[in-house]
Structure 1
Amino acid sequence: MSMIRSAGLHGFRATVQELGGDADDIARRSGMSVTALDSTNELVSDVAVATALETAADELGCPDFGLRMARRQDLSLLGPLGLAVKHSESLATALDYVSDFLFVHAEGLRLQAVPDPLGSPGVAGVQFDAGPDRTPSPQSTGLVLGFAHRAAVELVGGPYGLRSVELPHVPSPGEAEAYRRHFRGPVRGGRPAAVVRITGNLASLLLREHDEELHRLAIAMLARHRRNPADDVVHVVRTALSHAMGKTPLTLTAVARQVSVHPRTLQRLLEAHGTSFGEVLDDLRRHTARQLLTGTDLPIAQVAQRIGYAEAATFSRRARAWWGATAAAVRQSAHLSSSDKTLS
């Protein structure tokens, strides 16, 4: 038995309720805590998760339950791993990180590149399994492959060359049709392993949101993940805010989306580091504003806009709070100091 972080159950409650079922009852009968349905870091056995998915599918008459859950999930559930994937250079690199670090979220599950199981030239495979000599349950397969497919389409920005979907179980007619609609490709059951076959080279599929700096930060967080991810979170948030400053709204939700972390998770990580989103943003604004005031000749109204204030009056109030003086006085003081050094 392996353990899975409860973030992987995201969407279970909503999908069960949508179908008219009782998510808490199914969770209890499957051997898991009800609280796991609404948390992200509780550890749940993979057997309990598989049982819950299969029970829901069977009792609610929904053979594509796993696929429906997959439509409610996104990369933010993977935390730093999701960030590394999102900002990788190519689909091949992204898959390498999933192969190396998926254990952080699900000990026994594996998603990795493999040669094409049918041996076709110019075709690659992405295989999902539950560990050595273990076959994943049908709904677990639908959840993971469905999630991976949606993520690939989002990362690449469109079709990525899907050739076919190979399943170890034989899907019912309803499930097979749901797979074809979801993947928009042929589906075959009774195969040796769960594999998505892709035409072409995964390394040639470039990701549309590749950002080298955010990618490096994510890798640093992954390297230290088992110690304390809060050690890196302030730097990650400051970097994300620096990218967005003066361009897009500087909100917790926007930054959490950019770094592929749920807003509540990001808030908790910052609190664990003894700070908050508001404090990190305020400190960055203060630092950036001083640099612009003392190192450029930008009008004060433009400095205000550069640090995310729509009105110069708001910036003026913050300047007094930061330095006990107006922005103009701070600039003048810096210029006088520079002149004195030149004369001496």
Structure 2
Amino acid sequence: MGPERFTLDPGIRALLHHLRISVARVLRRAQLPAGVFAHGAVTMTVEEYYRFWDAVDAEAADPDLAVRIAGALSVEVFNPPIFAALCSANLRTAAERIAAFKPLIGPVNLDVTTARDGLTIGLGWPGEPPPPPLLVAAELAFWVALARIATRHEVRPTRVTMRLAPQPSATTTAYFGTPIRQAAADTITFSAEVAALPFLTEDESMWNFFAPELRHRLSELQASATTADRVRATLHECLPAGVSSINAVAGQLMLSPRTLQRQLQAENTSYQAVLSDTREKLARRYLTDRSLTTSQVAYLLAYDDTNSFYRAFRRWTGLTPEAARLANA
């Protein structure tokens, strides 16, 4: 998924101090260098990024920490992509802008869907390992905090879902206005009325000032990504829609299928190998969600029928999907 390293928000150190969480203890627990914040911007691999957030969660030992993190967000926090979002006209525009620049500040892609019944923001993560539940919950809570800061309304989402939903908490449920439900994806949905509420922080001139620099930084990150990384990221979006062909993926990447294959060969891989690897990792993740049937998993991986998925899964693991579920349990 995109570049191999991601920038940790520089404000995280101040945030941890604000939440009375020891930065030094978090770094030790995450097995990261003690001086990691001493030299300006901090970049981490996905694994390091996840270890950091797992360590924050363990150090705080607070089931409502995601809500506390969201509550610490203020309009004075200067993070260029987030500041650009606050300059937007409304939540829908802000979500689209952050979706474009989210790779600058973390290993997650945003899928923004506008429908008649509202605005849904979905979180897409690298295949393995799964993201820390705290990181997912904090990302979802962020959208509530952003909307409240920018509109000065106590807005609430209509639905919040997580693949690994936490135990019900009165504090967290009260913050969202709805319980976090177990589902196949990490999403938050706002009504159409909330999505269209005007942002009182709107400032198009500031957006025009920041946008060119953000685009430049994003292009530098994307240039550092391998072709295989870009294919995997595209497949994460295409497979649930039933699309798995090289022609479709190449079109999304604005390449010809022949050029895409040539670039993958230069990286000692192939489209079929990346597709198979991506499907396997997603299959293992989906099968941990017992609300999904095997046929639904096959559908999410863009297989024409369940038997094709069975054969592929047995080839990858030597097990049937049901046997793998029992082993995980």
- Asked if Structure 1 and Structure 2 have the same fold, meaning a TM-score greater than 0.5 normalized by the shorter chain, the answer is yes
Mark the CA change 1:56 to 1:84 in structure 2 (over 3 Å): closer, same or farther.
Answer: closer
1:179 maps to 2:172? yes
Indicate which of 157, 160, 175 corresponds to 1:162: 157
Deviation at 1:38, TM superposition (A): 6.7
Cα distance in 2 for partners of 1:152, 1:39 equals 33
Correspondence for 2:69 = 69
Partner AA of 1:14 in structure 2: H
Q: Over residues 310-338 of structure 1, what are the superposed CA-to-partner deviations in whole Å (9 max), with x where a residue is unaligned?
A: xxxxxxxxxxxxxxxxxxxxxxxxxxxxx
Correspondence for 1:90 = 90
1:58 maps to 2:58? yes
Deviation at 1:60, TM superposition (A): 4.3
Correspondence for 2:125 = 130
Correspondence for 1:196 = 188
Q: How many residues align?
A: 217
Partner AA of 1:9 in structure 2: I
Deviation at 1:101, TM superposition (A): 0.7
Q: Is the 8 A contact 2:158 2:189 kept in 1?
A: yes
Indicate which of 2, 6, 10 corresponds to 1:7: 10
Q: Is the 8 A contact 1:87 1:209 kept in 2?
A: yes
Cα distance in 1 for partners of 2:127, 2:78 equals 23
Deviation at 1:72, TM superposition (A): 2.6
Mark the CA change 1:92 to 1:60 in structure 2 (over 3 Å): closer, same or farther.
Answer: closer
Cα distance in 2 for partners of 1:190, 1:127 equals 14
Correspondence for 1:112 = 111
How does 1:257-296 map onto structure 2 within 5 Å?
A: none
Deviation at 1:141, TM superposition (A): 1.1
Mark the CA change 1:65 to 1:77 in structure 2 (over 3 Å): closer, same or farther.
Answer: same
Cα distance in 2 for partners of 1:59, 1:161 equals 29
Partner AA of 1:137 in structure 2: P
% identical equivalent positions: 15
Mark the CA change 1:76 to 1:49 in structure 2 (over 3 Å): closer, same or farther.
Answer: farther
Q: Is the 8 A contact 1:87 1:215 kept in 2?
A: yes
Deviation at 1:37, TM superposition (A): 5.0
Mark the CA change 1:130 to 1:51 in structure 2 (over 3 Å): closer, same or farther.
Answer: same
Partner AA of 1:30 in structure 2: A
Cα distance in 2 for partners of 1:88, 1:127 equals 19
Mark the CA change 1:225 to 1:48 in structure 2 (over 3 Å): closer, same or farther.
Answer: closer
3-state SS, counterpart of residue 205 of structure 2: helix
TM-score, structure 2 length as denominator?
0.56
Deviation at 1:78, TM superposition (A): 5.8
Cα distance in 2 for partners of 1:215, 1:135 equals 34
Correspondence for 1:326 = none
Q: Over residues 188-220 of structure 1, what are the superposed CA-to-partner deviations in whole Å (9 max), with x where a residue is unaligned?
A: 332111111211156622211222222211212
Indicate which of 199, 202, 205 corresponds to 1:207: 199
Cα distance in 2 for partners of 1:194, 1:48 equals 21
Query: Where does the alignment leave 5 or more consecutive residues of structure 2 unmatched?
Result: 221-329
Correspondence for 1:42 = 42
Cα distance in 2 for partners of 1:212, 1:113 equals 21
1:152 maps to 2:147? yes
Query: Where does the alignment leave 5 or more consecutive residues of structure 1 unmatched?
Result: 229-344
Cα distance in 2 for partners of 1:215, 1:155 equals 15
Deviation at 1:164, TM superposition (A): 2.3
Q: Is the 8 A contact 1:2 1:46 kept in 2?
A: yes
Mark the CA change 1:76 to 1:136 in structure 2 (over 3 Å): closer, same or farther.
Answer: farther
Cα distance in 2 for partners of 1:74, 1:186 equals 23
RMSD (Å) for aligned C-alpha atoms: 3.1
3-state SS, counterpart of residue 35 of structure 2: helix
Partner AA of 2:135 in structure 1: S
Cα distance in 2 for partners of 1:9, 1:39 equals 14
3-state SS, counterpart of residue 158 of structure 2: strand
1:218 maps to 2:210? yes
Cα distance in 2 for partners of 1:2, 1:11 equals 22
Cα distance in 2 for partners of 1:79, 1:56 equals 20
Q: Is the 8 A contact 2:6 2:104 kept in 1?
A: no
Partner AA of 2:10 in structure 1: A
Deviation at 1:154, TM superposition (A): 0.8
Q: Is the 8 A contact 1:54 1:139 kept in 2?
A: yes
Q: Is the 8 A contact 2:173 2:180 kept in 1?
A: no
Larger radius of gyration: 1
Correspondence for 2:242 = none
Q: Over residues 75-98 of structure 1, what are the superposed CA-to-partner deviations in whole Å (9 max), with x where a residue is unaligned?
A: 665633233211112211111111
Q: Is the 8 A contact 1:36 1:44 kept in 2?
A: no
Deviation at 1:2, TM superposition (A): 4.3
Partner AA of 1:93 in structure 2: T
Mark the CA change 1:92 to 1:127 in structure 2 (over 3 Å): closer, same or farther.
Answer: same
